[in-house]
Chains A and B, each alone.
Chain A
């Protein structure tokens, strides 16, 4: 089954404690992306990757890092989380950028206290 998986689905952490949210897709997609969803703001892109070792900033990259060492994985790293990063995070992938047909993961709800 074609899918995008994220782990963990729920995470509560404290300010400053480094964390990683994993994202994996099994569709051999080149393009992967991270979004955060906040009430009244829709989804905003954090980072995206066009292919292995190619990443770029989206609209709200501050406080986040990503890496793309393998085609299937695109982890999101928060090196020093802060309460304003409390949000619902989605990973997505697609065959190529700009086509819009993105497959979304189930989401990770992060709370930073």
Chain B
């Protein structure tokens, strides 16, 4: 079965600084991988997805993630944080019939 580990339940960055949210997955076969974002009092929306077409995946709002098979990682980055990026971020792996969610990382952006 898949499992997803997100390192750091809370991350704080200054506005304009690099955002790095870490995710590692466990699987002998690379799954589909996703990052979802949840803004306060809202549902989840897809930021980006990896489906084996390219290892560097670009998503919405300037976010991107790099799939590294050797490290079983799929870290999310953004070069310059904006106040509107404050939210909770979930790394997700797909199984045959469902999704496996990481426990989430809450991003705080300090003005």
Contacts and interface: CB of A to CB of B under 8 A. Distances in A.
Given A48-B97, A105-B43, A100 B103 contact: no
Interface magnitude class on chain B: 20 to 34
A90 interface: yes
B43 A106 contact: yes
B18 interface: no
Interface magnitude class on chain A: 20 to 34
A65 interface: no
Contacts of A100: 32-34, 49, 92, 94, 99
A107 B43 contact: yes
B90 interface: yes
Interface stretch (A13-21, A36-44, A68-76): A36-44
Interface of A: 4, 33, 35, 40-45, 48, 50, 56, 58-59, 90, 92, 97-102, 104-107
Interface of B: 9, 32-34, 41-46, 49, 90, 92, 94-99, 101-104
